Amino acid sequence: MSYVQDIYEQVVKRNQHEPEFLQAVNEVLQSLEPALEQHPEYQKAGILERIVEPERQIIFRVPWVNDDGDVEVNRGMRIQFNSAIGPYKGGLRFHPSVNLGIIKFLGFEQIFKNALTGLPMGGGKGGSDFDPRGKSDAEVMRFCQSFMTELYRHIGADTDVPAGDIGVGGREIGFLFGQYKRLKNLYEGVLTGKGLTWGGSLGRPEATGYGTIYFVEEMLKSRGESLQGKTITISGYGNVGTYLIEKANQLGAKVVTIGDEYGYVHDPDGIKGEKLEFLMDLWCIYRRAAKDYADEFGLEWVPDKSPWEVPCDIAVPTATQNEVCSEDARLLVANGCTCVAEAANMPCMADAVDTFIENNILFGPSKAVNAGGVAVSGLEMSQNSMRYSWTFDEVDAKLKIIMANIYKSASTAAKEYGRENNLVVGANIAGFLKVADAMMAQGVV
Ligand code: 2IT
């Protein structure tokens, strides 16, 4: 059995009921074979054995009182996965589907994503099965305060720096930050995604969506193409989707779908102007359903289907893990789609990714495509350390350079290790090598 297979079997044995974690580990391990052949020292140092096992896993009770005066209890967790190249860094997800396997898959991905940004950030992730949808501001505040009352002892600006993910936006980060400051009597950059008047960075809300488009531009450039005149389909309409639309419009493309778990809207003219303004607040502020967009503008609502049946040049899944199955992938290819960029984390199932690669589709994996979010979080940390803030244009220019560098690292590594044009293999190897070298230098820890 190969080293990689051997490690994967151990991971399966230890994490049997965590399919998303196994899926993420399997994809990364398979990509690493060519790199491991050239670096036998990693096997000797047990790098893979260590990199698949979180450094620390924290699971805690989050009791809170709802508006009716009843006690509710959620489960909170934080996975501190790898700190070889910097403090643990990664978002918090509040969604009823959250479980340990999902947070571990996200934390594992974050290790390599953060390494790709070129900034000094380790990998971590956290969250809760709390559902902010339908809760009052006061309930969300009480939940966040209770969550932080346990988490504060495990985090810090130089230890572990959480941020947002699904269900955690500016409002939640504010409540979490306020409680941290109160408990520790310390005003420090312990969270990113903060508001502008209390340590946040200009450009952080836009970063994941803009960064995705900058990465897509790099992919298209490799084939002598641009975004001008391209039709894009996306699936979400939260922080990532809305700013992605804004940047795509600026560069001459149009985005013609949004959706949620109940269906999708097709807007053939493209989401722009007052329609985009309406959309910006729909989820991020009001947590309303995608169908409300169709109703507001007299568009067709297609229930129980996903937007991947709509013909497009570029498909960008922006919602959540495993939202694109192999059937969707075949349909996209058959309808003439030539580029797929994962803006959500691991939105394409493994066989969907295979379909894209077999069909020579430009395929950008999430840990490269959506790294702009955490990259600007890294820039927020730098600004907090300097007690200084950069202008929007300064942050945006840095983001652009970072995204181009990520594309270059991934495509160069793919070529160097004999898998030219395969950005999945390239991103995994480029991120891994940086972390593995740091682990080698630091001894067996
Ligand atoms: O998946 C991600 O990279 C994020 N949710 C952002 C993490 C961060 O620390 O900004």
Residue 287 pLDDT class (50, 70, 90 cuts): confident
pLDDT digits (tens, 9 = 90+) for 213-269: 999 999 999 999 999 999 999 999 999 999 999 999 999 999 999 999 999 999 999
Structural domain includes residue 395: no
Whether residue 68 is found in the same domain as residue 113: yes
pTM of the model: 0.97
Structural domain includes residue 422: no
Q: State residue 219's pLDDT score.
A: 98
Among 344, 364, 384, the domain boundary falls at 364
Q: What is the CATH number of the domain that holds 90?
A: 3.40.50.10860
Structural domain includes residue 211: yes
Q: Which position among 89, 125, 247, 291 bears the catalytic label?
A: 125
Distance CA 372, CA 348 (A): 19
Among 331, 364, 397, the domain boundary falls at 364
Whether residue 299 is found in the same domain as residue 221: yes
Distance CA 295, CA 286 (A): 16
Whether residue 102 is found in the same domain as residue 146: yes
Q: Is 345 in the pocket of ligand 1 (CB under 6 A)?
A: yes
Q: What is the CATH number of the domain that holds 338?
A: 3.40.50.720
Whether residue 156 is found in the same domain as residue 61: yes
Residue 276 pLDDT class (50, 70, 90 cuts): very high
Q: Above 90 in pLDDT, residue 284?
A: no
Atom of ligand 1 nearest to the CA of 374: 10
When divided into structural domains, the chain yields a total of: 2
Whether residue 149 is found in the same domain as residue 254: no
pLDDT digits (tens, 9 = 90+) for 45-65: 999 999 999 999 999 999 999
Structural domain includes residue 402: no
Structural domain includes residue 404: no
Q: State residue 15's pLDDT score.
A: 98
Whether residue 224 is found in the same domain as residue 157: no
Q: State residue 286's pLDDT score.
A: 86
Active site residue 125: yes
Tell whether the torsion through CA atoms of 10, 13, 14 and 16 is positive or negative. positive
Q: State residue 137's pLDDT score.
A: 97
Q: Above 80 in pLDDT, residue 340?
A: yes
Whether residue 148 is found in the same domain as residue 10: yes
Q: State residue 285's pLDDT score.
A: 86
Whether residue 181 is found in the same domain as residue 213: no
Structural domain includes residue 218: yes
Residues 139 and 68: beta-carbon distance below 8 Å: no
| Least reliable range by pLDDT among 125-129, 170-174, 287-291, 325-329 | 287-291
Q: Is 191 in the pocket of ligand 1 (CB under 6 A)?
A: no
Among 188, 218, 241, the domain boundary falls at 188
pLDDT digits (tens, 9 = 90+) for 114-127: 999 999 999 999 99
Structural domain includes residue 391: no
Whether residue 241 is found in the same domain as residue 330: yes
Distance CA 106, CA 345 (A): 7
Q: How many angstroms is it from 329 CA to the middle of ligand 1?
A: 26
Q: Mutation test of ligand 1: which of 165, 369, 399 has the most ligand atoms closer than 8 Å to its C-beta?
A: 165
Domain limits at 349? 207-364
Pairing relationship of beta strands 254-255 and 257-260 according to DSSP bridges = unpaired
Whether residue 181 is found in the same domain as residue 226: no
